[in-house]
């Protein structure tokens, strides 16, 4: 949320003795809420893109296209499965175990409709929020054993930021796929999220 602004004037004399007034604004930010804010943006962006796709012919979700994924449904499946995996990691489950536990979700969701993805992602978001509400310190570190990389000490906040960034990347894939199928996409820029009071207030 926006907080107090500090306003002050600085006067500097130019060689021509003109006084230049410089207005400086300093915004206080709640850094503890920032990862939650970005997660809520991720949820909003998924919902916004799915809402747009819902206005298009239903076949858009399952029409094959030569892109990052065979279909748009496959792309949303990837977002959902990876989000599910990271939720388990945040719960304290090892990454390899969480990955293996999430794999069955691929077959379960890759033929979902827009409405089913919207419901599944919203339910998953609620599970995230319930867990995060019980976490007093998102800067707490865990030892993350990444089967695709190396062992790393990682903050919970970093994982949330990764979830949001990962979603942004793949929503870009979906936008490209929509255009390949002859349909416009919709904007889900972070800047637009600023102007959604009911959403940004959650953080």
Q: Which domains does the chain have, with CATH numbers?
A: 34-191 (1.20.120.450)
Taking alpha carbons only, the member of 90, 199, 88 closest to residue 135 is 90
Give the chain's mean pLDDT. 86
* Separation of alpha carbons 182 and 53, rounded Å: 12
pLDDT tens sequence across 160-197: 999 999 999 999 999 999 999 999 999 999 999 999 87
* pLDDT, tens digit, 9 for 90 and up, residues 46-87: 999 999 999 999 999 999 999 999 999 999 999 999 999 999
pTM, two decimals, is: 0.82
**Whether 73 contacts 61, CB under 8 Å:** yes
**Whole-number pLDDT of residue 16:** 39
State the pLDDT at residue 20: 34
Q: What is the DSSP string of 74-88?
A: HHHHHHHHHHHHHHH
- Integer Rg of the chain from CA: 21
Specify the pLDDT at position 17: 39
Scanning the structure block, which residue is given the tokens 């962006």? Answer: 45
């Amino acid at each position: 949320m926006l907080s107090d602004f500090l306003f002050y004037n600085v006067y500097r004399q130019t060689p021509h003795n003109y006084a230049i007034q410089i207005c400086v604004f300093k915004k206080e930010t709640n850094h503890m809420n920032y990862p939650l804010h970005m997660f809520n943006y991720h949820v909003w962006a998924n919902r916004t893109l799915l809402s747009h796709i819902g206005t298009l012919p239903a076949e858009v979700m399952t029409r094959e296209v030569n892109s990052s994924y065979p279909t748009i449904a496959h792309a949303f499946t990837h977002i959902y499965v990876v989000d599910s995996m990271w939720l388990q990691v945040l719960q304290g489950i090892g990454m390899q175990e969480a990955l293996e536990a999430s794999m069955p979700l691929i077959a379960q969701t890759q033929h979902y409709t827009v409405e089913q993805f919207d419901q599944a992602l919203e339910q998953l978001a609620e599970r995230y929020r319930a867990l995060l509400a019980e976490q007093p310190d998102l800067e707490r570190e865990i030892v993350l054993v990444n089967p695709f990389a190396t062992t790393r000490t990682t903050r919970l906040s970093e994982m949330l930021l990764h979830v949001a960034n990962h979603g942004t990347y793949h929503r870009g894939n979906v936008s490209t796929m929509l255009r390949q199928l002859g349909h416009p996409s919709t904007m889900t820029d972070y800047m637009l999220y600023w102007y959604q009071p009911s959403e940004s207030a959650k953080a």
